[in-house]
Amino acid sequence: MKYYVVDVFTDHLFGGNPAGVCLLDAWPDDALLQNIATENNLSETAFLVKQEDHYDLRWFTPGLEVNLCGHATMGSAYILFNFVENDARELRFKTQSGVLSVVRGDGGMLWMDFPARPGAPAPVYQSLSSALGDGIKDVYKAADILVVFDSEEDIKGADPDFEKLKEVRDEAGMPGDDFGVIITAPGSDCDFVSRFFAPNVGVDEDPVTGRAHCVSIPYWSKRLGRKELTARQLSRRGGRIWCEDMGDRVKIGGQVQLYLSGEIMQH
């Protein structure tokens, strides 16, 4: 099985978010997919099977399958553009979240077309206060939870209690473990900054998170009154994201670096 590791949402190696990408001829048992993702121990491993006019795409964390992942989708497109579909300008992926597409842009940029996931106003859940401390200004509930703070320093300095953060699921009535908590604030050298925590799926902090921007782009577009935005995710590795609000869809742009190519042995 051909296997690649790419760093996504970055212009240099060892930045952004690493993703595994596995190219398959057909779908094996789900148990094998999960074992590979657990062995890889990356926040997500993407698995792809070629169909006539698209690729079937699934994403697994070390603990479970998730229904939407941005960086592993962009990483998958990068691998296909460079190693399989050299002449293509656009790729389509059929996923649990519908059909997603990725287009080649200028200067090494890739642009994903994803569903917008605007949040509805929600209370400041006690579990969030316990996990994140003081300073929460607003909370919005979508497929993920968006927590708004005043300043970039609030985001940089956040030190979550991940056991408390797991309790958000029950208090907020989330349907399962496949969700995360986004913290966000205005940025100093970009429109907004964020971090993303998903301890319920075994990923305490995700380095750079495409799916989180399906929630944050509609919020910041409305708040700032602009459709085109720039963002940074303030994890240790860090990453830059270019954003566009298109109503019921969002465009998420970034760069990708190839770290590894190899073969997964199956016995």
Q: Residues in the chain, how many? A: 267
Other beta carbons within 10 angstroms of residue 56's beta carbon come to 14
Name the helix (H) or strand (E) containing 92: strand 90-95
- Single-letter amino acid, residue 256: V
Nearest by Cα to 251 from 115, 141, 109, 92: 115
44 a catalytic residue: yes
Tell me the two tokens of residue 72. Answer: 């592993």
Rounded CA-CA distance 99/87 in Å is: 21
**Which residues make beta-bridge pairs with 229?**
243
Whether 184 and 193 have beta carbons less than 8 Å apart is answered as yes
Residue among 39, 44, 163, 171 flagged as catalytic: 44
Residues noted as catalytic: 44
